[in-house]
């Protein structure tokens, strides 16, 4: 695949990022694609490696290696090299419902498992994917293609995040009549309200939703199931129901002073930041459906911001706070600082447990002169002013120790390491704790030991007839690409349930 000697002849060239000092002045995406000639050279670097781990997508040592969608990566890299982007799009769409999303927000598991990356820089697979899908839109290859025949079966999908949309897209393409119920004012789930606009501009979502609507998918916003939409109605009116509501329960930080005003969960802060952009018409509505514009007005402007959590969501909070005009930003990370390079016990093609400086941290370095991350640190308590607003956080250093009873390694506080830092806005980005129990109870479906909606026998079918589950609600908090893959797997099971077989 690709040019036989391409990986020896050409260096990796990534899409260009607008420099931090300029991109923080707006909410736009900030990557610029190289020329098509350069794109062909990057496709040429894909090796005829024999065993393409890039498309493996299974777990190695508890971490996913390669693309969970099993994209035909060597095939479309070769087609990019040869300049046949139309055929590359056809191959890409065989496995991927939403390449316009994953090429922007996926952490590129494919590249981390690329054989070329064993001794050199991996192939720019994610950038190649973006080149393919944007070419397809530009050339009109993505036009709506409604199913020619309908099965007469009706499916309700609860939740419009990546897994719910994948379920809806596949089952509609099969000929079933699909309605997506979303409790929020716009379709998209975490794509819409969990990922900032500069990382995924919302017109990208609306562009795809408009095609899905034209193909026959029905969207209902401001429709919380279990409240306005009664489970009994869905059970009576639909042949199958898929619960794909994600993991809406953020992990809390239970310390003294937590009740102070100005302490928010990251997902609420990021959602509100996007709603404010809609209110100001910085983001324009162009999707098939939209509800009223309403925000809480949470802002980092002129505030000392402390982000608790060092993952992608924490980084998104850093980038968002900077654009809102934060006075300062610190990001607390419980774990030690990762190494610069792979260690011996983390070999390729495992996911590399190495230091990553993302766009938000780059911008904080540009703005404030230093990396915002403080490693091996957590919050011991918060202090508030006379009005009850948070004014500072007492933080404590952590060290790794082995629990004598269990033998497990744990991060424990270091004695006399407490210190106080300014904090007038605190954002908790410590992950999520399972599915929405209230909704599960409304349908009578069970939860597993991690409070996710339980499937039966390793499937997506719950213990209640004709009810299925998909995405993070089923697996726990994960990546967009893994949610899409789980949605596709669920759609196939639903199709088999409805028709007795499946060609999905």
pLDDT digits (tens, 9 = 90+) for 338-349: 999 999 999 999
Q: Is pLDDT of 1 > 70?
A: no
DSSP string, 444-493: T--B-TTSSBPPSTTSSB-SSTTEEE-THHHH-S--HHHHHHHHHHHHHH
Are residues 15 and 127 in contact, defined by beta-carbon separation less than 8 angstroms? Answer: yes
- Residue 434 has a pLDDT of 86
d(CA 82, CA 74): 12
- Residue 287 has a pLDDT of 85
d(CA 270, CA 324): 11
Look at domain 6-138 and name its CATH class.
mainly alpha
pLDDT tens, position by position, 122-178: 999 999 999 999 999 999 999 999 999 999 999 999 999 999 999 999 999 999 999
Handedness of CA 490, 495, 500, 503 (dihedral sign): negative
Token pair of 356 as six digits = 């990553």
What CATH number is given for 154-248+433-499 in this structure? 3.50.50.60
Are residues 440 and 447 in contact, defined by beta-carbon separation less than 8 angstroms? Answer: yes
Confidence of residue 444 (pLDDT cuts 50, 70, 90): very high
Q: Is pLDDT of 422 > 90?
A: yes
Higher pLDDT, 356 or 289: 356
Q: Where along the chain do its domains lie?
A: 6-138, 154-248+433-499, 263-428
Are residues 371 and 364 in contact, defined by beta-carbon separation less than 8 angstroms? Answer: yes
Token pair of 268 as six digits = 């609420």
Kind and range of the H or E element at 274? helix 266-279
pLDDT tens, position by position, 357-401: 999 999 999 999 999 999 999 999 999 999 999 999 999 999 999
Residues 481-496 have a mean pLDDT of 98
Segment among 11-15, 233-237, 289-293 with least mean pLDDT: 289-293
- Residue 406 has a pLDDT of 84
Confidence of residue 291 (pLDDT cuts 50, 70, 90): confident
- Residue 409 has a pLDDT of 87
Strands annotated E in 344-454: 373-375, 377-384, 390-402, 409-413, 419-422, 425-428
pLDDT tens, position by position, 213-236: 999 999 999 999 999 999 999 999
What share of the chain in percent tops pLDDT 90?
92
d(CA 277, CA 292): 13
Token pair of 102 as six digits = 């994953």
pLDDT tens, position by position, 18-45: 999 999 999 999 999 999 999 999 999 9
The answer to whether the 154-248+433-499 and 263-428 domains have the same CATH topology is yes
pTM of the model: 0.96
User: Quick count: other Cβ atoms within 10 Å of Cβ 399?
Assistant: 13
d(CA 242, CA 375): 40
What does the mean pLDDT of the chain come to? 95
* Domain 263-428 architecture: 3-Layer(bba) Sandwich (3.50)
């Amino acid at each position: 695949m690709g040019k036989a000697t391409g990986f020896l002849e050409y260096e990796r060239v990534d899409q260009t990022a607008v420099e931090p000092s300029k991109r923080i002045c707006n909410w736009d995406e900030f990557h610029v694609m190289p020329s098509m000639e350069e794109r062909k050279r990057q496709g040429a670097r894909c090796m005829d490696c024999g065993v393409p781990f890039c498309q493996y997508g299974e777990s190695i040592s508890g971490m996913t290696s390669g693309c969970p969608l099993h994209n035909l990566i060597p095939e479309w890299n070769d087609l990019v090299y040869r300049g046949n982007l139309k055929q590359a799009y056809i191959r890409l769409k065989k496995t991927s419902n939403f390449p316009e999303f994953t090429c922007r927000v996926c952490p590129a598991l494919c590249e981390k498992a690329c054989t070329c990356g064993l001794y050199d820089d991996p192939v720019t697979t994610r950038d190649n994917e973006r080149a393919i899908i944007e070419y397809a839109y530009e050339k009109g290859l993505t036009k709506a293609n409604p199913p020619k025949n309908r099965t007469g079966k009706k499916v309700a999908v609860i939740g419009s995040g990546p897994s719910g949309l994948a379920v809806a897209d596949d089952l509609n393409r099969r000929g079933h009549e699909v309605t997506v119920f979303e409790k929020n004012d716009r379709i998209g789930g975490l794509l819409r309200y969990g990922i900032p606009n500069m990382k995924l501009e919302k017109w990208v979502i609306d562009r795809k939703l408009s095609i899905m609507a034209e193909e026959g998918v029905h969207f209902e916003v401001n429709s919380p199931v279990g409240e306005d939409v009664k489970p009994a109605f869905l059970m009576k009116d639909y042949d199958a129901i898929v619960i794909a509501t994600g993991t809406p329960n953020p992990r809390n930080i239970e310390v003294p002073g937590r009740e102070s005003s100005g302490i928010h969960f990251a997902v609420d802060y990021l959602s509100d930041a996007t709603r404010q952009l809609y209110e100001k018409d910085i983001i324009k509505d162009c999707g098939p459906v939209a509800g009223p514009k309403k925000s809480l007005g949470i802002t980092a402007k002129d505030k000392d911001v402390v982000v608790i959590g060092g993952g992608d969501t924490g980084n998104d909070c850093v980038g968002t706070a900077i654009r809102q005009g934060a006075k300062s930003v610190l990001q607390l990370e419980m774990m030690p600082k990762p190494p610069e390079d792979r260690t011996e016990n983390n070999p390729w093609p495992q996911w590399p447990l190495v230091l990553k400086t993302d766009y938000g941290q780059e911008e904080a370095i540009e703005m404030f002169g230093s990396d915002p991350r403080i490693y091996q640190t957590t919050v011991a308590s918060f202090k508030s002013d006379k009005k009850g607003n948070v004014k500072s956080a007492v933080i404590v250093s952590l060290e790794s120790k082995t629990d004598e009873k269990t033998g497990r390694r744990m991060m424990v506080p270091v004695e006399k390491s407490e210190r106080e830092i300014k904090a007038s806005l605190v954002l908790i980005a410590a992950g999520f704790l399972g599915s929405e129990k209230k909704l599960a109870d409304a349908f009578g479906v069970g939860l597993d030991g991690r409070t996710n909606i339980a499937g039966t026998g390793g499937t997506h079918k719950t213990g209640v007839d004709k009810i299925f589950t998909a995405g993070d609600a089923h697996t726990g908090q994960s990546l967009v690409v893994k949610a899409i893959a789980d949605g596709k797997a669920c759609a196939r099971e639903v199709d088999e349930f409805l028709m007795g077989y499946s060609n999905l």
